[in-house]
Chain A
Amino acid sequence: MARSDPTESGGLFTGRPAGPPRYRRPATGTARQRGDKVLAAFILLLEVVLCLSLLGPQPLGWLWVGSQVQYQTGAVTAGISVIMIGCLASLMFTMVVAKRLDHWWKLVRRAAGYQQERGAIELIFAACVGVTLIVFTFWFLIIQGPGPSLAPTN
């Protein structure tokens, strides 16, 4: 009998079909899953802290290190170089660590019973950048920026 079903490929197209990633499903309703939910939340918090550290503490830390280098060597170039290279290196290292954490967060979330298809690092990073921009803008324009200079002086 000839086949007329257009979806019948005769086994030619056995590649991965379009759609969500395939992964193993855990047994549901176990006590371990409750612990995994807490662990997943903790890992997510770590990711947030790491991303936030990229946008404030780490650059500030490298600025301090750079200033010390400049003070010790008397060379501005050396200080700026240390700041640039240090910032880039710690950015790369932090992102690698955050990415690994995000991978484990995804696995722990799946273990906790959530249908977690993707990680959250992109969203966290974007949110941190947004928050940092708002905070920086407020500090720059209102607290330390032109505001005080426009105010009446004694």
Chain B
Amino acid sequence: MGLLDYYRQFADVDREEDNRIRRERRHRERALELERVPDLDLSGTEWPEFPNSEVVNASIYTARGRVNGYPDRHAEDVRGALARLHDVDPERIVVGNGAAELLQAAAMALLEPGDELLTPWPSYPLYPLMASRAGGRPVAVDWHERLESGISPNTRLAVLCNPNDPTGHYTPAERVAELAAALPERAHLMVDEALVHFQDAEEVDAVLRLTDAFPRLLVVRTFSKIYGLSGLRTGYAVGSTASAKVLDSISPVLGVNALSQSAVAQALKIGSAEIARRRDAVIRERHRLMDGLAELPVTADPSQANFVWLSVPGMTGLALANALRKENVVVAPGGPLGADDHVRATVRDDAATDRLLAALRVALAD
């Protein structure tokens, strides 16, 4: 290299040359992206799509407004909309920071040391935890058995996840009514209906209607699942007029934040058609997935949720999850959910169903 050439190498990179290098690099990156098969995450139960932009805008509009002031601690707008949706008195509804917080608050309010919280198992792992936090004792009943078999004089609270996470089992309103009637005088029944929109066994509000007849029945719902607003952590509980004291004790002391209230109010305002579309899509795809699974050597319990609960004879859930992971499909191993021999796979769209079935075929062939 000559003397001048040595210095010329430090000249500005020519704009065209610079652009050409960038284009080539971008093309290489795109080629790599096309070669890479992205992971399909079917381990969560939240809604996979972004929320409706109008819902997000409602929250942003509030954020740009008077967030220096406290929100409506009674969430009158949201409760009014929910009251119209469920045809109940607004006084029978409380809005909280997610269904889980309402459930935990109920456990704290109702359980005393020595009291028992009754729940089917496997079920939502929060239930035993919230009993322990409240100083009570969790009592798990195998989900195949009747929950009444676990009732004792110490039973103070029964929690039923309906449809049940992770099994997908749905307990119809008639059975819920039997359970509510069988509970001791001082015991409450909480039905966690976070996934209720995905069931097609009966009317969506069938269990909620029971609150008219059973004063110690509370139904808890969330905006985290079919409404696709998990990040806002908003849920609500519906009870009878006679349960006003319990409802008051589980409501957040200073209410739910203004951004969540705005988003949820807008979601309720515009959401019925969208919710129906999502519900139909999941139900349709769940049937298709179950049909596909029937042709494979797997055991899949009938599901009324937005997931299926699978097991393969002679294979642990973790091994099955790892085998599917190799095919870039992520499912939730059953161990942390209460059953080592199962996995939970979320129902999404037709492409996801096809990939899950294809991955299962490969995993089971190995």
Interface residue ranges, A against B (CB under 8 Å): 1-2, 4, 11, 14-16, 21-24, 26, 104, 107-108, 110-111
Asked if A14 contacts B26 (CB within 8 A), the reply is yes
A110: chain B residues at CB < 8 Å are 10
Taking CB atoms, residues of chain A closer than 8 Å to B7 are: 104, 107-108, 111
Inter-chain contact B15/A23, CB cutoff 8 Å: no
Known: A2-B50, A14-B22, A22-B18. Is A107-B10 also a contact (CB below 8 A)?
yes
Q: List, sorted by A's number, 26 A–B pairs whose CB atoms are closer than 8 Å.
A: A1-B38, A1-B48, A2-B50, A11-B30, A14-B19, A14-B26, A16-B18, A16-B19, A21-B13, A22-B12, A22-B13, A22-B18, A23-B10, A23-B11, A23-B12, A24-B9, A24-B10, A26-B10, A104-B7, A107-B7, A107-B8, A107-B10, A107-B11, A110-B10, A111-B7, A111-B10
Name which residue of chain B comes closest to A117, CB basis: B12
A2 to B26, CA, bound (A): 20
CB neighbors of A among B1-45 (8 A): 6-13, 15, 18-19, 22-23, 26, 30, 38
The reply to whether B13 and A23 form a contact with Cβ atoms under 8 Å apart is yes
Contacts of B48 in A (CB 8 A): 1
Closest B residue to A107 by beta carbon equals: B7
Give, as a whole number of angstroms, the nearest-CB distance from B274 to chain A: 16
* Set of chain A residues within 8 Å of B23, measured between Cβ atoms: 14
Nearest CB of chain A from residue B196's CB, rounded to whole Å: 26
B19 near A11 (CB under 8 angstroms)?
no
State whether A16 and B15 are in contact (beta carbons under 8 Å apart), knowing that A2-B50, A4-B50, A11-B26 are contacts in the complex: yes
Collect the chain A residues with CB atoms within 8 Å of residue B15's CB: 16
Q: What range describes how many residues of B lie at the interface?
A: 10 to 19
Bound complex: CA of A50 vs CA of B348, how far in Å? Answer: 75
CB distance from A130 to the nearest CB of B (A): 29
User: How far does the alpha carbon of A140 sit from the alpha carbon of B7 in the complex, in Å?
Assistant: 45
Complex CA–CA separation, A16 to B20 (angstroms)? 10
Residue with the greatest number of chain B CB neighbours at <10 A, chosen from A104, A107, A110: A107
With a cutoff of 8 Å between Cβ atoms, the chain A residues found around residue B38 in the complex are 1
Which of B42-92 touch A at CB < 8 Å? Answer: 48-50
| Interface pair B6/A111, CB less than 8 Å apart | yes
Closest to A116 in B: B10
- Which A residue sits closest to B25, measured CB to CB? A14
Residues of B within 8 A of A11 (CB): 26, 30
Given contacts A2-B50, A4-B50, contact A15 B19 (CB under 8 A): yes
- Tell me which residues across on chain B come within 8 A of A111, comparing CB atoms: 6-7, 10
Distance in angstroms from B232 CB to nearest chain A CB is 16
Please give, as numbers and ranges, the residues of chain A lying within 8 Å of B11 by CB-CB distance.
23, 107
7 closest Cβ contacts across the A-B interface? A110-B10, A107-B7, A21-B12, A22-B13, A14-B22, A11-B26, A107-B10
| Complex alpha-carbon distance, A26 and B7, angstroms | 10
The proximity string for B residues 106-129 relative to A, scoring 1 for CB distances below 8 Å and 0 otherwise, is: 000000000000000000000000
Docked complex Cα distance between A23 and B11 (Å): 6
Contacts of B19 in A (CB 8 A): 14-16
Q: How far is the CA of A23 from the CA of B50 in the complex (A)?
A: 42
- Taken together as a complex, chains A and B put the C-alpha atoms of A104 and B4 apart, in Å, by 9
User: With a CB–CB cut-off of 8 A, which chain B residues contact A21?
Assistant: 12-13
> Which residues of A are found within 8 Å of B18, using beta-carbon distances?
16, 22
Give the chain B neighbours of A15 by CB distance below 8 A. 19
Residues of A near B12 (CB, < 8 A) are 21-23
Q: What residues on B are CB-neighbors of A22 within 8 Å?
A: 12-13, 18
Not counting A23-B10, A23-B12, a sample of 6 additional A-B residue pairs whose C-beta atoms are within 8 angstroms of each other reads A1-B48, A2-B50, A11-B26, A107-B7, A107-B10, A110-B10
A residues in contact with B50, CB < 8 Å: 2, 4
With both chains docked as a complex, state the minimum distance between the C-beta of A52 and any C-beta of chain B, in angstroms: 25
